[in-house]
Structure 1
Amino acid sequence: MQARHSNSLYKRDARPEFWQLSMRCCVLAGSIDVAFFFIFLWLGSPILAWINVISVAMYVCAYRAFVHRRNRLGFALIQTEVLVHAGLGTVLVGWESGFHYYLLMFIPALFVSTRARIAWILAAHLWIYYAGLYVLMWYMQPLQPISSNALLGVNIFNLTVVFCMFSYLALFYAITVTRAHTSLSRMAMTDSLTGLFNRRQIVALTEKLLARHHRCPTNLTLMLMDIDHFKQINDEYGHDVGDRVLVTVSQHLQSLMREQDFIGRWGGEEFLGVLPDTDLEQAAETAERLRKAIQVLEIDNDGKKIQVTLSIGITQYRADEVLSNAIARADYALYKGKSSGRNRVEAIQA
């Protein structure tokens, strides 16, 4: 039962950007129908004028449906309004009025709002409706014809509206795709909890540095850091507090490192720092500064202060060695530091 409910919520909330766009389209289309009301009153077509009043009411209802996340109802109201309005406008004024342009707006909307198979079926029905309306107007005259100049003006107005809406849709989808790509790239590169680089990304960045290192030899130091007694924090305060400790420590470590350095979450409570153009002595000074900063750090837990310490193992990269060997050496240095009492910096010569 709960699984079905969760699946229902997922379907209802799917493609949230599209439904937000639909709400904006309701406002835009309602505003256009208000303009049409006055246009057709001025042209002496009261039936078409009052049809737009009904259209505005339908867009208001559709907007409220989207606000309450009744997306299917909202889309059905928009679909009904456009189909009926386009058909009536064409039959009353003529094909040359351009009301049929609005039917084309449904083509991208169908494929975004429904599954592909259903979208193709609906698109086929839309084509039949569109073609049928076109053929119908070959054999009948408009029921409420307007002057040729007015007809041209209505056509240009409808063409302009549809042109602008298609342009807006294209821009919207381009921005949405770009944002989605950026978000996926960020998710692929960073740790979801701490916001630091994840293990895969920090290895990739280090490999790039090493490629440059081989072309132009320079100092590169690795720094493996571990929060002391972190399991006890989880056991005593719970994993939520443990996560808060991880986030706070990672933020402080990142803020204290140089701009050219980078740091990532290596796993669990371990962090890997990569320091380009840094020899072992300079790295030891940096590591000691980080250790002291974390030692005095206080993390609030409902009024109670939690303090943690950091053990750090550092080593310098050897020319032409495999990266995993250098990391293993830094890990051994970290192990030595923990074995010697924790809350200390231990270095191993390259």
Structure 2
Amino acid sequence: MAQKVSSDANYMVILQQSVYMAFIIHFVWALLFIWLEVPFLVAANIASCFLYIVNYFLVKNEAYRLYFILALSEISIHACLSTFTFGWEAGFHYYGIIPVYGAFFFPKMSKSYKCTAAILSISLYIGLYFISDRAIISLSAHMIDFLYVLNIAAAFLIIALLGSFFRSSVDRMIDHLNETNEKLNIMASTDSLTGLFTRRKMYTCLDKGIRGQLPFFVLLLDIDYFKQFNDCYGHDCGDKALVTCAKVIEQLAGETGSVSRWGGEEFLIMLRSETKEEAAALAEKIRRSVAHQPVVNRDRTLFISVTIGLAEWRIGKEIEHIIHEADCALYEGKKKGRNCVVLYNDQTAALYT
């Protein structure tokens, strides 16, 4: 919905700018035709000014199809009148190019409208060439040259400005799309409750770590007796416990590793560490900090504990292999009574393979 609103707003701005530009051009032409003493073209351009006032309100009310028909009809009629009056050499026929350009760059119009408008405009342009060889009003050669240069410059300026308006609109929509994609990427990689990485994002981090061939450890944490905690105090309190635990983990391990909510009450940390002693010390620090961090729920102050399984990545291990080892160590910790840190070793491997 946000994309549609932004796109419509950009489209409306473009059309409003084209209305302003057309109004100014016809106002200037009305003054010029007063000077040249061509009253019916003065009247025609004044009528065009009023038409673009109407078009302004059509744009405001998003009546784009009617605006399209009126604008392209007005441009074609004005080009015909002026060309018949002063002849092909005066260059008024160049305005007949604009409807062809506009027909294909108005995204709100159907293909049938665009094709019909383009065919009619091209036919009209070619027809003008054959029937406008004799001017109704004769002007001096210098004035004809002046009108020719003025018209060709104005026609190409209008096309360039319209092109810049549409390009600007496209750029804004691309920027909006990129921002939306960035937000979606963040949403896809961030757990909505805890703000930690999602399981999917953590797989990316683990894969990058394995390809980088740098030593790291995997810590798999599980909140002890979380189901009973939820059942006893309610899911709101359970969510607070998850957020509290996540904050402690992020605070202690965020600078040296990547932290994710692995699923439910489980968290997984990819810890960049050189030795088992460092990794085990951090895991123990996390365990103690969680155990001493209160979970405040209304008038109650509660406490939780975590069990942590720790496994070391070595060259040749796949992602699922290292996660399995951390899970085995975690399960061993639960068998030992929970609220502890267990490092995966050969003895653990013998128990769970």
Same fold, TM exceeding 0.5?
yes
Q: 2:121 aligns with which of 112, 121, 130?
A: 130
**1:53, 1:239 → 2: CA distance?**
65
**2:25, 2:225 → 1: CA distance?**
71
**Distance of aligned partners of 1:129 and 1:222 in 2 relative to their CA distance in 1, 3 Å threshold:** same
**1:128, 1:98 → 2: CA distance?**
15
Q: 1:262 aligns with which of 258, 265, 275?
A: 258
Tell me the residue number matched to 1:206: 206
**Distance of aligned partners of 1:243 and 1:24 in 2 relative to their CA distance in 1, 3 Å threshold:** farther
**1:300, 1:203 → 2: CA distance?**
32
- The answer on whether the counterparts of 2:93 and 2:128 sit within 8 Å (CA) in structure 1 is no
Question: What stretches of structure 1 of length at least 5 have no aligned partner?
Answer: 1-9, 66-72
Q: Report how far residue 327 of structure 1 moved.
A: 1.0
**1:81, 1:304 → 2: CA distance?**
71
Deviation string for 1:98-156 (max 9, x for gaps)? Answer: 3642553453543xx58xxxx44343333323323323433555999993344234324
- The answer on whether the counterparts of 1:33 and 1:56 sit within 8 Å (CA) in structure 2 is no
Tell me the residue number matched to 1:104: 101
Q: Report how far residue 221 of structure 1 moved.
A: 0.7
2:83 maps to 1:83: no
- The answer on whether the counterparts of 2:94 and 2:155 sit within 8 Å (CA) in structure 1 is yes
Q: Normalised by the size of structure 2, how large is the TM-score?
A: 0.72
**Distance of aligned partners of 1:14 and 1:221 in 2 relative to their CA distance in 1, 3 Å threshold:** closer
**Distance of aligned partners of 1:36 and 1:328 in 2 relative to their CA distance in 1, 3 Å threshold:** same
Tell me the residue number matched to 1:168: 168
Q: Report how far residue 46 of structure 1 moved.
A: 4.5
Tell me the residue number matched to 2:326: 330
Q: Report how far residue 205 of structure 1 moved.
A: 2.4
Tell me the residue number matched to 1:5: none
- The answer on whether the counterparts of 1:223 and 1:314 sit within 8 Å (CA) in structure 2 is yes
Amino acid at match of 1:210: I
**2:244, 2:328 → 1: CA distance?**
26
Amino acid at match of 2:263: G
Amino acid at match of 2:31: W
**2:105, 2:200 → 1: CA distance?**
37
**1:75, 1:240 → 2: CA distance?**
50
- The answer on whether the counterparts of 1:260 and 1:276 sit within 8 Å (CA) in structure 2 is yes
Q: Secondary structure at the match of 2:316?
A: coil
Aligned length: 321
**1:188, 1:133 → 2: CA distance?**
54
Q: 2:342 aligns with which of 334, 342, 346?
A: 346
- The answer on whether the counterparts of 1:26 and 1:60 sit within 8 Å (CA) in structure 2 is no
2:216 maps to 1:220: yes
What are the residue-to-residue correspondences of 1:107-186 with 2, within 5 Å? 107-110=104-107, 119-141=110-132, 147-176=147-176, 178-179=178-179, 182-183=182-183, 185-186=185-186
- The answer on whether the counterparts of 1:40 and 1:46 sit within 8 Å (CA) in structure 2 is no
**2:51, 2:302 → 1: CA distance?**
64
**Distance of aligned partners of 1:148 and 1:245 in 2 relative to their CA distance in 1, 3 Å threshold:** farther
What are the residue-to-residue correspondences of 1:308-327 with 2, within 5 Å? 308-327=304-323
- The answer on whether the counterparts of 2:26 and 2:49 sit within 8 Å (CA) in structure 1 is yes
**1:278, 1:285 → 2: CA distance?**
12
Amino acid at match of 1:172: R
- The answer on whether the counterparts of 1:196 and 1:250 sit within 8 Å (CA) in structure 2 is yes
Q: Report how far residue 271 of structure 1 moved.
A: 1.9
Segment of structure 1 superposing worse, 49-58 or 15-24: 49-58
Q: Secondary structure at the match of 2:197?
A: coil
Deviation string for 1:194-214 (max 9, x for gaps)? Answer: 55333233223212322332x
Tell me the residue number matched to 2:249: 253
Question: What stretches of structure 2 of length at least 5 have no aligned partner?
Answer: 34-41, 84-91, 347-353
Q: Report how far residue 273 of structure 1 moved.
A: 0.8
Q: Secondary structure at the match of 1:15?
A: helix
Q: Report how far residue 297 of structure 1 moved.
A: 4.7
**2:300, 2:69 → 1: CA distance?**
60
* Cα RMSD for the two superposed structures: 3.9
Q: Secondary structure at the match of 1:277?
A: coil
Tell me the residue number matched to 1:70: none
**2:239, 2:78 → 1: CA distance?**
61
**1:248, 1:20 → 2: CA distance?**
43
Deviation string for 1:39-97 (max 9, x for gaps)? Answer: 2343233532442343244334433x4xxxxxxx4433543444334334433445534
Tell me the residue number matched to 1:59: 56
Identical counterparts, % of pairs: 24
- The answer on whether the counterparts of 1:207 and 1:323 sit within 8 Å (CA) in structure 2 is yes
